Amino acid sequence: MLVIMKPDAAVAEISGVIKAIESMGLRPHPNRGADRTIIGVVEAGGGTDLSFLKKSAGVDQVIPINKAYKMVSREFKPDNTVVNAGGVAIGGDRFVVMAGPCAVETHDQVMSTARAVAEGGGRILRGGAFKPRTSPYSFQGLGEEGLKILLAAKGETGLPIVTEVIAPDLVGLVCEYADILQVGARNMQNYALLEAVGSVRKPVLLKRGMMSTVEELLMAAEYIVSSGNSQVILCERGIRTFERATRNTLDISAVPVIKRNSHLPIIVDPSHAAGYVDIIPSLSLAAVASGADGIIVEVHPSPCDALCDGNQSLSFEQFNGMMDDIRAVATALGRPLAG
Amino acid sequence: MLVIMKPDAAVAEISGVIKAIESMGLRPHPNRGADRTIIGVVEAGGGTDLSFLKKSAGVDQVIPINKAYKMVSREFKPDNTVVNAGGVAIGGDRFVVMAGPCAVETHDQVMSTARAVAEGGGRILRGGAFKPRTSPYSFQGLGEEGLKILLAAKGETGLPIVTEVIAPDLVGLVCEYADILQVGARNMQNYALLEAVGSVRKPVLLKRGMMSTVEELLMAAEYIVSSGNSQVILCERGIRTFERATRNTLDISAVPVIKRNSHLPIIVDPSHAAGYVDIIPSLSLAAVASGADGIIVEVHPSPCDALCDGNQSLSFEQFNGMMDDIRAVATALGRPLAG
Amino acid sequence: MLVIMKPDAAVAEISGVIKAIESMGLRPHPNRGADRTIIGVVEAGGGTDLSFLKKSAGVDQVIPINKAYKMVSREFKPDNTVVNAGGVAIGGDRFVVMAGPCAVETHDQVMSTARAVAEGGGRILRGGAFKPRTSPYSFQGLGEEGLKILLAAKGETGLPIVTEVIAPDLVGLVCEYADILQVGARNMQNYALLEAVGSVRKPVLLKRGMMSTVEELLMAAEYIVSSGNSQVILCERGIRTFERATRNTLDISAVPVIKRNSHLPIIVDPSHAAGYVDIIPSLSLAAVASGADGIIVEVHPSPCDALCDGNQSLSFEQFNGMMDDIRAVATALGRPLAG
Amino acid sequence: MLVIMKPDAAVAEISGVIKAIESMGLRPHPNRGADRTIIGVVEAGGGTDLSFLKKSAGVDQVIPINKAYKMVSREFKPDNTVVNAGGVAIGGDRFVVMAGPCAVETHDQVMSTARAVAEGGGRILRGGAFKPRTSPYSFQGLGEEGLKILLAAKGETGLPIVTEVIAPDLVGLVCEYADILQVGARNMQNYALLEAVGSVRKPVLLKRGMMSTVEELLMAAEYIVSSGNSQVILCERGIRTFERATRNTLDISAVPVIKRNSHLPIIVDPSHAAGYVDIIPSLSLAAVASGADGIIVEVHPSPCDALCDGNQSLSFEQFNGMMDDIRAVATALGRPLAG
């Protein structure tokens, strides 16, 4: 059950609703978002009728959803959410390709990649300035210097930027440069970070944890949306299994499962799922065919020299070849490439 | 290393080669197939040169492959294998759809399904007469009676039959009716069964175990091929992971990985991977786009009444809708539907 | 629901019960065991009362168990089953150690190992004569020659023998030599094999498949027990997960879970779970402490030279050191070592 | 390779070493800890000899370790690390039991539990004041109010406190109350948090992520230790697998694997691994027997009423019964209970 308060509800009105819920033996969970307070109620049985609360002062809506995730569910909002990221619509009637290097290394590297991405048909530029790395002795990214390089590339090509934010206190800084804030797989359940990106006005790309279920991904998205930011793009990037022929196992089924259960856009990251460049085109095509709203892939001017993830980065030539096939499948299914 | 003896090699010639290998400190593994004996040598280091054996009496070829699987590898045979199953080519330039009920239940059920499959564009009829079931108290199939029903449906529609064989002593019986012998996921490492289907002249559809790596699937296929039967079709049908939104997790990456490493055809079973009918069309399209050679799906005239796997069986209408999209994607990628 | 017919029930009496069940809209699954027929009924809802069948001719008992496994459940039989294997009680008040080489290689190897096992406190000799191997080019075992070597070792040391049977048509042969028939992890769902070992009068050691749930293990045991052989010992041997520091992940929780749900004895195989010899003593002690009825470990006179699983075989000295600690923990918990 | 600078090394000395490493074509990763700077070098091949740097100004030691984790490895420090937490030694010659409620709910709940833990033989009190929860609508903990309750319980019983810290900006606050800072499983790769707890002078309990390998756990610990805090206790708490009979699968093998590879103490959390209270005593005993340095378990005065994890909390009576068996096994293995 969700009780959505009006944006101008008074504190006393909110307390009144909380007490009313408690008096019925239920446990309210008020969530103070940027715009308004939303009170979630999760019942074991689920049989209680709280619709009478609609008449209480300060209440906007009472929504009878008893799933663990509510505002991100299709029950809550039957129509697809279309996220606008720097002028590019994600989740609409066009398929969107995001591409770029794993990590921002140099100005030239990013600039040449951005040009190749734009020419090949990509519509968003990806690149990591802050890199969360398993080992403290690995390259950790260029930081703000990297963000400046991305901005320069956007200036020349017009491509909006998606880049990762790895800690709550960096959200403000990254917002100054990025069009989409990426929350990485390892941070999918970093709740302080989810609340931080939930309190800003930038689209968020939320990657599925490599051992998180689809339901947990949706609950992580619920943290962001219930904190006030409804512009969330989900991303399937492979899960951890026993199979060792690929870096992770791309869970392509997550695409139709999420489409059934949520109104949020869902894209696929074939690069991290595969780990090997030769199978990325196949996985990208599978993503288009499965109904995903887009893909995010790693492209590098010289994959062998990459400081990060070189063996899963496409060369410009490989990227172009793949885009031709993506165009054909997207068109055949009535959902052409954006741009 | 593989030493392939001539079909007419004498027993003494074979023994001579075995002794020569042993005298070099290596361990030979002779495999007496239907046609000829093949001697495998797996070395830890892999540095020994056995090419001198080419000159020994009875030796046909010496092939320096040091992978655990040899005859199924692309190194061994660079060209794709095309399997001919009752007149339908699998692994060639057309995409093949196999469809039918999980289990053969009645004559009418199979007959109406076979007609719907043929009209919708399917080229092979599937149906289980012997069912391996987790519980001894579940429906175990109609046995030979089921095979007769399948044969009658083939008689009317012309669709070749694929059906499962669950024990070595049933191979002869199933061969009398089927065009393709299916080895199920639970039997992927039932070596007695692999050798039994390796000794006959019928194509084999080998399903990946839900707990098996791609490499283990290829080694299971190696058992069949090295026993003398090179007509093997591989099948990805989902692996077991922590995710519970689907019955299994379809490992779509297995398609391009197998295409890279093996010359055998690979098809996808979206029904067992998904477990829920609403996502099967998405997975089928992903299979086409990923480069698979075909799919095998469950179709039932009345899914709710099915004795087995009802919640993952397509109705005739759903099957037809899906086939339209498959046709579009297959054509866009230059590999139209068979038939 | 289980309807257990009397051993001397007539065919017509059995048919009568089947028809009575069908007339209630349920689906009976008659299982013709060696001694008697047992009719399982699995209902979706589970509410039907079949107790009236107790009065039908030929019926012995009607047992209202609606789990997928029935005869192996603790509901069916509250007391622990104690299996007698060549005079050694497994599942009783003593902890039992089974040990020996992975594969039978030579007479001397087995004889010296058997002596070391007996002196160290082991009570059962293990050793593989028929080896199911992932690759067709790996050592497949000595076959009946290996069984003869095991029998000679039993003759000298008095240790009963446990050895694997890999196909239904080998059950008769292995029964002539072995005291316990082992069904390996890869064959846990080889139903033809389960029925074959279910129809003989020898204890069966059933290993859990490396990607099978505990519930599936119990259902596999149900195949054996419902086929007429109640002398089943279960074995946890590690499951397949993403972790790569060990060969498999020992699921130690399976021990108390099985003790809660089943009356059958459960032992642990730390060798296959670990894959590395240095951690086997820790896992063996964990097995004792968790409440397992025994362990089965690999011991080899010269682990480096082993033809199979050398890196997970204990030397005689390591075995003896481990046995001292096992003795201490077993005694502390009031369940001393057998013998 | 690790180059450990002296505590009083000048900035210019550090830069000099960095340049020297770069001039050899390697990539240095300086880590500015609280006390000193440590420069990690990870090479692909690993063959470069940097021992000449020992003579450079400001360099304390050069340590040739080429694993991804260095300072936490047993190569780096062969002797066990013993962590002192409020007077209790963890990792020494006594086995330590930490116990208490999942979440701090009320003063009385914590006070009565603390008394029961102390009387039963526990030496550390656990309890969550800040709770990271999968759903934004679940109980999120009492915050600082909860910390005050824990401190009161410590005042009465003398038990040091372990409690979770969920964000970098809370580290200061939690340090004022806690004796051990817990980093939860979901935050194991929250690098901002690892660095924050690495910069304080309090022991850290680092839980293994449910999706993380042992190697990744050690690398997460390396973040903390290389940031300047060597007082790290590792905790195995179950990993995510396909098995559903337990909440997670306790990876008991992690204990001996970590003992082999690291000098840090390792404890086991059977409560989160099991998810069901009846099997927790078995898993606790397995932990003692496997060589763990301690356990951390959930105890609640009235498990049925718990706001969090009630079905995996021991009652006081169950806790006492379990402690008797733990005492027996710990003594039998020569490592009695602390206190």
Give the A:B interface size as CB pairs under 8 Å. Answer: 132
DSSP character for C168? G
Contacts of A209 in chain C (CB under 8 A): none
- Average model confidence (pLDDT) for chain D? 93
Number of neighbouring beta carbons within 10 Å of residue B263: 20
Q: How far is Cα A284 from Cα B332, in angstroms, rounded to an integer?
A: 15
B89 DSSP β-pair partners:
B84
Instruction: List, as one string, the DSSP characters of C69-136.
Output: --TTBTTT--SPP-EEETTEEESSSSBEEEEE-SB---HHHHHHHHHHHHHHT--EEE-BSS---SST
- What 3-state DSSP class applies to D324? helix
What's the pLDDT at D240?
96
Q: How many Å lie between the alpha carbon of C327 and the closest alpha carbon of chain D?
A: 9
Per-residue pLDDT, B133: 84
Nearest CA among C261, A76, D27, C191 for reference residue B168: C191
What pLDDT is recorded for position B39? 86
Please count the residue pairs, one from chain A and one from chain D, whose beta carbons lie less than 8 angstroms apart: 101
CB count in 10 Å sphere of residue A118:
18
Burial class (CB in 10 A: 0-12, 13-18, 19+), B212: buried
- For each of chain C's 339 residues, which pLDDT tens digit applies? 788 999 999 999 999 999 998 888 787 878 777 788 888 886 655 567 788 898 899 999 888 776 778 899 998 888 999 999 999 999 999 999 999 999 999 999 999 999 999 999 999 999 999 988 888 877 789 999 999 999 999 999 999 999 999 999 999 999 999 999 999 999 999 999 999 999 999 999 999 999 999 999 999 999 999 888 999 999 999 999 999 999 999 999 999 999 999 999 999 999 999 999 999 999 999 999 999 999 999 999 998 887 777 788 999 999 999 999 999 999 999 999 987
User: SS3 letters for D255-288?
Assistant: HHHHHHHECCCEEECHHHHHCCHHHHHHHHHHHH
Q: Across the interface, do D222 and A136 touch by the CB < 8 Å criterion?
A: yes
Q: Residue D321: which pLDDT band, with cuts at 50, 70 and 90? A: very high
B221 contacts B71 by C-beta, under 8 angstroms: no
For an interface test with A, the pick among C242, C248, C251 (most A C-beta atoms closer than 10 Å) comes out as: C242
Q: What is the pLDDT of residue C44?
A: 52
Residue A73 pairs in a beta bridge with: A262
| C145 C-beta neighbours (distance < 10 Å), count | 11
Torsion of CA C312, C317, C321, C323, to 10 degrees: 70
pLDDT for position D187: 95
CA A20 to chain CA centroid, Å, is 36
d(CA A169, CA A162): 18
Could you tell me if A76 lies within 8 Å of chain D, comparing CB atoms? no
Q: Is the pLDDT of residue A261 over 90?
A: yes
Select the residue of D29, D189, D227 nearest A137 (Cβ to Cβ): D29
- What's the distance, CA C297 to chain centroid? 14
Mean pLDDT on A300-309 = 84
Classify strands B37-41 and D2-5 as parallel, antiparallel or unpaired: unpaired
Q: Which two tokens stand for residue A232?
A: 């969330």
pLDDT at A63: 82
* A240 shares contact with chain C (CB less than 8 Å): yes
Q: Is B222 on the interface with C (CB under 8 A)?
A: yes
Q: Which residues of A touch B245 (CB under 8 A)?
A: 213-215, 253-254, 257
Which of B65, B76, B183, B191 would you mutate first to test chain C, the one with the most C CBs within 10 A?
B191
ipTM given for this complex: 0.90
The CA distance from D100 to D97, in Å, is 10
pLDDT value of position C75: 86
Q: Is residue A242 less than 8 Å (CB to CB) from chain C?
A: yes
Rounded to the nearest angstrom, the minimum Cα separation between C240 and chain A is 6
Is the Cβ–Cβ distance between D235 and D266 less than 8 Å?
Answer: yes
Give the Å distances, CA to CA, from B297 to B11, B44, B98, B208, B323: 46, 42, 6, 15, 11
- Cα–Cα nearest to C201, from C180, C222, C223, C220: C180
- Chains near D with 3+ CB pairs less than 8 A apart are A, B, C
**Under-70 pLDDT residues of chain B:** 42-47, 66
Q: Where exactly are the structural domains of chain C?
A: 2-63, 83-332
Structure tokens, B105: 């239940």
C134 closest CA partner among D286, B223, D152: B223
Q: Which two tokens stand for residue C173?
A: 């042969």
Contacts 24+ apart (CB under 8 A), A7-16: A7/A35, A7/A36, A9/A36, A9/A37, A9/A57, A9/A58, A9/A59, A9/A60, A10/A57, A10/A58, A13/A56, A13/A57, A13/A58, A13/A59, A14/A39, A14/A58, A16/A56, A16/A57, A16/A58
Of the CA atoms within 13 Å of residue C39, those in its CB half-sphere come to 27
* Nearest to C98, CA basis, from C314, C296, C240: C296
pLDDT confidence of residue B105: 95
Q: Quote the CA–CA distance of D9 and D14 in Å, as a whole number.
A: 7
What is the enclosing helix (H) or strand (E) of A61?
strand A59-63
Tokens of D131: 């709770």
Q: Per-residue confidence at D135, pLDDT binned at 50, 70, 90? A: confident
pLDDT of residue C43: 64
Helix (H, G, I), strand (E, B) or coil at A116: helix
Residue D129 CA to residue D135 CA, distance in Å, equals 17
Best residue in C32, C134, C217, C229 for a mutation probing chain B (most B CBs within 10 Å): C134
A151 CA to chain B: closest CA distance, Å? 34
What contacts 24+ positions apart, CB below 8 Å, involve A83-88?
A: A83/A203, A83/A231, A83/A232, A83/A233, A83/A265, A84/A203, A84/A231, A85/A124, A85/A160, A85/A162, A85/A179, A85/A180, A85/A203, A85/A233, A86/A124, A86/A160, A86/A161, A86/A179, A86/A180, A87/A160, A88/A123, A88/A124, A88/A160, A88/A338
Residue A160 phi, psi dihedral angles, 5° rounding: -65, 160
What would the pLDDT profile of B19-66 be if each residue is shown by its tens digit?
Answer: 998 888 787 878 777 788 888 886 655 567 788 898 899 999 888 776
Q: Phi and psi at residue A245, in whole multiples of 5°?
A: -75, -20
3-state secondary structure (DSSP) of residue A123: coil
Interface touch C31/B211, C-beta < 8 Å: no
Is the domain defined by C2-63 classed in CATH 3.30.70.1140? yes
Q: Which CATH superfamily is domain A83-332 in?
A: Aldolase class I (3.20.20.70)
pTM (2 d.p.)? 0.91
- Which residues does chain B have within 8 Å of residue D242's beta carbon, measured at their own beta carbons? 240-242
User: What is the tens place of the pLDDT at every residue in D54-99?
Assistant: 889 999 988 877 677 889 999 888 899 999 999 999 999 999 999 9
| Residues 6 or more apart in contact with residue A73 via CB below 8 angstroms | A65, A67, A218, A261, A262, A263
Question: What pLDDT does A49 receive?
Answer: 79
In whole angstroms, what is the distance from residue C222 CA to residue C194 CA? Answer: 9
Residues D326 and D280: beta-carbon distance below 8 Å:
no
Tell me whether C243 touches chain A (CB under 8 Å).
Answer: no
Integer Cα distance of A307 and A104 in angstroms:
9
Q: Does the beta-carbon distance from D333 to C328 stay under 8 Å? A: yes
For residue B210, give both structure tokens: 């839900």
Question: What secondary structure does DSSP assign to D198-263, as a single string?
Answer: HTSSS-EEEEPPTT--HHHHHHHHHHHHHTT---EEEEE--B--S--SSSSB-BTTHHHHHHHHBS
pLDDT band with cut points at 50, 70 and 90 for residue A44: low
Dihedral of CA B280/B285/B287/B290: which sign? negative
Structure confidence at residue B42 (pLDDT): 67
B190's CB contacts (< 8 A; 6+ apart) are B183, C186, C187, C190
Average pLDDT for A13-21: 91
Give the position of tokens 């012997």. B130
